[in-house]
Structure 1
Amino acid sequence: MPSAGRSPAWGGPGARGTYNSSGYETGFHLIGNQMGGKNGTLRNFVAGYQTPANSPHMRGLEGDVTNAVNSGEAISLGVLPVYKGTDPAIPTEIRMYAVGNKGYRLDCTAYNRATGGYSCSQRSSGAKLSVP
C-alpha cells in the first residue's frame, strides 16, 4: 500500500507526475524510450521522481548507452529496480548494467529520490562517474 500523499497508480505510462511534499513523481522507463523501451507496457515502468532523478540523471545514463549503440556497438543491457525503502511501491535505486561488443561498459546506480544522483563503478564513455 503506498504511503499517504502518494498516487497509488502514479498515472501510468505517459502520464504527468503528481506533486507531493517530496517532489514530482513520474513513471520511470526501466528501458528508456530512446533504447526501444515501450511506452505502453506497464512492466517497463516504475514510480519515481522526475527531476533530477529521472531527468537529467537517469536520462544521461540512458543516453550513454544509446550513443554507444548509435556508434555501431552491440549492447547487452540489464536494468534492475531495487526496493529497500519504506514505500514498497517505489524503488530506491535503479541499477543499470551494459556491456558492448567493442569494449563499452556501464555499471551505474541511479538514486530514486527527490535530489536524484547516481554513482558508477564503470562508465567507459568518459562522462562523470557520480553526481551526489
Structure 2
Amino acid sequence: MSNESTNPDLSIYSRPDWLAGFLRADRIRLDTLVQLVASWSDPDARDDIIEALDYLAVVVSSTQDEGTLDAAVEIVEDAAGMDTAQVPIDKTHVLRLLGELNTVAERLTRFDAGRRSVTMPHQRGRFGGAA
C-alpha cells in the first residue's frame, strides 16, 4: 500500500486497486495505549481492567451477536477511564485531508457519471456556486 501523504500518521489514501480508501490516525492508537497503561498503574483499577480485557478476549475468540464486541470494548474503556478516541486537527490538516479525500473519492467514483469533488467555502463563488 502506498501512502504518499506528507503526514502519513494522519492521512486518507487509496488501496492500490482503487476500490477502497483508508483513514489512518495513528494518534488514536497511541493515546489508547497510553491511557490504558496509565490506568493500569493504579492497583485499584488494574483488577477491573484485567477482568474487562479477559472478557474482551473471550468475545473476540467466540462467535458473537451484533454489538457484543463493541460492548466488550466499551467495558475496557470504562474500566480504564479512557477518553473519546479523537484527534484534533487544525486548518492545515483539514485542507490537506480534504485534498487527500478528494483524490480517494475521484478514484472510487471514477466510473460514476455524477461524481464531483468536495469544495471548501473559499473555493466557491460569492453565492455558493462554483468559482
User: What's the TM-score once normalised by structure 2's chain length?
Assistant: 0.26
Higher radius of gyration, 1 or 2: 2
The structure carrying a bigger helix percent of its residues is: 2
The structure carrying a bigger strand percent of its residues is: 1
